[in-house]
Amino acid sequence: MSQGAGQSATLEELRAEIIRLGPWHLDVEVAPGLTTRAFLDAPPGTYQGTGHLDPSRITFIDPRRDVESLLPRIYPAGLEGRSFLDCACNCGGYSFLAREMGASACFGFDVREHWIAQARFLAEHRTGPSDNVELEVLDLYDLPQRGVGPFDVTLFKGIFYHLPDPVTGLKAAADLTGELLIVDTSTRPDMPEGTLTVGRESREGLMSGVYGLNWRPSGPSVMAHILQWMGFPDTRLAYHHEQTGRGFGRMRVVAARRHGLLDAFDPVDRGGGRARPRRLRRWRVARAERNRRSGATGDG
Ligand SMILES: C[S@@+](CC[C@H](N)C(=O)[O-])C[C@H]1O[C@@H](n2cnc3c(N)ncnc32)[C@H](O)[C@@H]1O
């Protein structure tokens, strides 16, 4: 697509460009009736023979559902001018949504040009607001030297388990975060609680890290320890799905620098006080039972 086509591009031109830039990981609306999902209609063979571009290796998800199930619980009135940091932003889908939810400015970065090329296309052509949304190629480990921030809210989704040193990586983001940090990661629920488990991964896969080494936490208590050490004393488990069908689990932990922000996660007990979130309690019981049966030891 010629540069500067901007708003004047026809739907057919936009559709062709979506296919050219594919495969996509995030479903983002480009124009009424047209989303990045259009790449799924690419003629058979479009992405074949390109190895790591094989779309069957890339999950395709709707970020709107994800964000709308979480952020309004914490910020019922929207982001109200808060700044937003999107680590490993992929095509920037979460940043564009944050902007729509009232963020004043968003900064997203991803190590792969493939995804940032998509982000540039979206910034230029989507009908939703893209002003003050900056998306660029950057390695997480270079974030401290980049000279951006601080930010009110940070999304650290799908990146913890693609890093050779995830604590240093997460700290780079945490140090720039003033209010809320959301960590969404793959887990190893089969391992004793309190552990990080090492693994190997492709350096080339579009959804992968670039270092070949990775670590997965066993569950929420590992993340709570790490986040508390980073200056986020208040953490809640949004969910931990222990059966994802691939041998890994998936969890989302939200962390706040100050108490009170996450009260919406705490069911009020009959006595008027706060009860421990039910999911976390159920999860701990199930984990303790499994560890007991397997003879594993953990920190609870
Ligand atoms: C599983 S995808 C998650 C994408 C997105 N955050 C989401 O949750 O939908 C992992 C992303 O991390 C990016 N990535 C991997 N290693 C990175 C690094 N060291 N710095 C920045 N981005 C990285 C990949 O290019 C890919 O877009």
Tell me whether residue 52 is in a domain: no
Ligand 1 centroid – CA 162 distance (Å): 8
Give residue 268's pLDDT band: very low, low, confident or very high (50, 70, 90): low
**Is residue 34 a part of any domain in this protein?**
no
Q: Which atom of ligand 1 is nearest to the CA of 86?
A: 6
Residues 189-218: pLDDT tens digits? Answer: 999 999 999 999 999 889 999 999 999 999
Using the atom order of ligand 1, give the atom closest to the CA of residue 112.
Answer: 25
pLDDT of 76 reads: 93
- Residue 21 falls inside a structural domain: no
For residue 206, the CA-to-ligand 1 centroid distance in Å is: 8
CATH (domain of 145): 3.40.50.150
Which distant-in-sequence residues (6+ apart) come within 8 Å of 117 by Cβ?
A: 21
Residue whose CB lies within 8 A of the most ligand 1 atoms, among 110, 148, 156, for a mutation test: 110
Q: pLDDT band for 259, please (50, 70, 90 cuts).
A: very high
pLDDT at position 172: 98
List the end-to-end C-alpha distance of the chain, in Å, as a whole number: 56
- CA triplet 24, 54, 97: central angle to 5 degrees? 15
Q: Is residue 44 part of a domain?
A: no
Output the DSSP codes for 228-280. Answer: HHTT--EEEEEEEES--SSS-EEEEEEEESSTTTTGGGSPBPTTSSBPPPHHH
How far is ligand 1, taken at its centre, from the CA of residue 152, in Å? Answer: 21
Could you tell me the distance, in angstroms and rounded to a whole number, from the CA of residue 165 to the centre of ligand 1? Answer: 14
Alpha-carbon distance of 284 to 262, in angstroms, equals 20
In a domain, residue 18? The reply is no
Distance 112 CA to ligand 1 centre (A): 8
Contact 87, 22 (CB under 8 A): no
Q: Which atom of ligand 1 is nearest to the CA of 88?
A: 22
Place of tokens 């004793």: 192
For residue 16, what are its two tokens? Answer: 């062709």
Atom of ligand 1 nearest to the CA of 90: 27
pLDDT, one tens digit per residue, over 40-83 is: 999 888 886 555 666 777 899 999 988 888 999 999 999 999 99
Q: What is the distance of C-alpha 184 from the center of its chain?
A: 6
What CA–CA distances, in Å, run from 80 to 47, 83, 93? 41, 9, 19
Q: What is the pLDDT of residue 293?
A: 42
Query: Which of 28, 36, 90 is the best mutation target for the ligand 1 pocket, counting ligand atoms within 8 Å of the beta carbon and taking the most?
Result: 90
Look at ligand 1, atom 13, and give the residue with the nearest C-alpha: 88
Mean pLDDT over the full length of the chain: 87
Using the mean position of ligand 1's atoms as its centre, give its distance from the Cα of residue 93 in Å. 12
Taking the C-alpha atoms of residue 290 and residue 296, their distance in angstroms, rounded to an integer, is 8
Q: Is there a domain that residue 19 lies in?
A: no
How much is the pLDDT for 295?
38
CA nearest to 30, candidates 58, 10, 46, 47: 10
Counting the structural domains of the chain, the total is: 1
Residue 4 lies in a domain: no
Q: Which of 162, 185, 246, 250 to mutate to test the pocket of ligand 1 (most atoms within 8 A of CB)?
A: 162
Residues within a 6 A CB radius of ligand 1? 25-26, 88, 90, 110-112, 115, 139-140, 157-159, 162, 207, 209-210
Residue 224: which domain range? Answer: 62-294
Instruction: Summarize pLDDT for 92-109 with one digit per residue, the tens.
Output: 999 999 999 999 999 999
* Per-residue confidence band for 4, with pLDDT thresholds at 50, 70 and 90: very low
Does any domain span residue 148? yes
